[in-house]
Amino acid sequence: MSRDEVARRAALQQIHERYAYWNNVPHRGLMVEGRPAMTRIDPDKVGDFVLVTVRDPLIAYAGDPTAHIGQYLEGAELIGESGMFTSISGTYEGARITVVSGGSGSSEAELLLYDFMEFSKAHTYLRVGGSGGIGTDVKPGDIVVSSGVVREEGMTRAYIDRAFPATSHYEVVAAMAQAADELSADYHVGITLSVDSDFAGVGRPGVGGYLQPWNIEMLATYNRAGVLNGDRESAAVVTLAALYGFRGGSVCSVADNVITNAEFSHGAGHAKAIDVALKGCALLDRMDKKRALTGKKYWLPSMGC
């Protein structure tokens, strides 16, 4: 299902007819000087793959994430800068990749995802960043390839009921796991927890040690359920990609683990997470080309990577 096919659904047209202010809202968002307002991207220069990153002080980027990851791209070019978001495009092993950096959380991710998903021809969206360990076997420096995301944040609930599963696209999961294996990364494949609160909401004391009874159960609850790690953006990327007919996924490094008392390690494993994300996009690009040769709708393992 493509974005355009989603837009043609009869049920969606019925919603438009019921909405009293449909003719008053900008149907394609706000524009500034002919470009999408939030990111100011040139849509024609966006790659097939979009890596969503955060200006995260816990990761130890050498400057802005776009500049850091841009070192690995051939022909890296600035394609958008708004003060809130910075975007560059280049190629990696033939795959056309765009990296966008911004602030933290699902609400901020929503803003950049709208611009890219509405205006560009990118088909795959990947969250690349840091996270905290929740799974008993997850250690600082490990990589988690998300097969799905627990939607404990609030933004995506504006789009669809909480019962809707935020599942990463199986092709993305396969390619990222293959890349992690080829790069000899210490990696896991499984469920990620996405939250809004980075303190009390995940059992970390707020100012003055503030906590409530429901806060202290969060990590243990999800550890018992086999959840591997937690972040703030994966739910936005995976959920909106699924709703709009794109491929979505997440690759995160792990910096600590409260469950196992593994201490925080600044930027642990993140260089490897970047390598996995870039290699995984190159594999996906090759998978897409092999699928196109067969004329089939879906990539199958028998087609190879």
> Could you give all domains of the chain from N- to C-terminal order, each with its CATH number?
29-297 (3.40.50.1580)
Angle at 250 between CA 149 and CA 37, to 5 degrees: 100
Q: What is the pTM of this model?
A: 0.97
pLDDT computed for residue 223 by the predictor? 98
Closest CA to 65 of 78, 82, 52: 52
Q: Position of tokens 């600035």? A: 78
pLDDT computed for residue 1 by the predictor? 63
**Mean pLDDT by groups of 10 residues along the chain of 305 residues:** 82 93 93 96 98 94 93 98 97 98 97 97 98 98 98 98 97 98 98 96 95 96 98 98 97 98 96 98 98 96 92
pLDDT computed for residue 60 by the predictor? 83
Q: Note whether 112 and 102 are within 8 A (CB).
A: yes
b/e string for 46-56 if b means 16 or more Cβ within 10 A? bbbbbbbbbbb
- 291: amino acid identity, one letter: R
Q: Note whether 246 and 230 are within 8 A (CB).
A: no
d(CA 284, CA 4): 22
pLDDT computed for residue 283 by the predictor? 98
b/e string for 60-95 if b means 16 or more Cβ within 10 A? ebeeebbbbbbeebeebeebbebeebbbbbbbbeeb
pLDDT computed for residue 128 by the predictor? 98
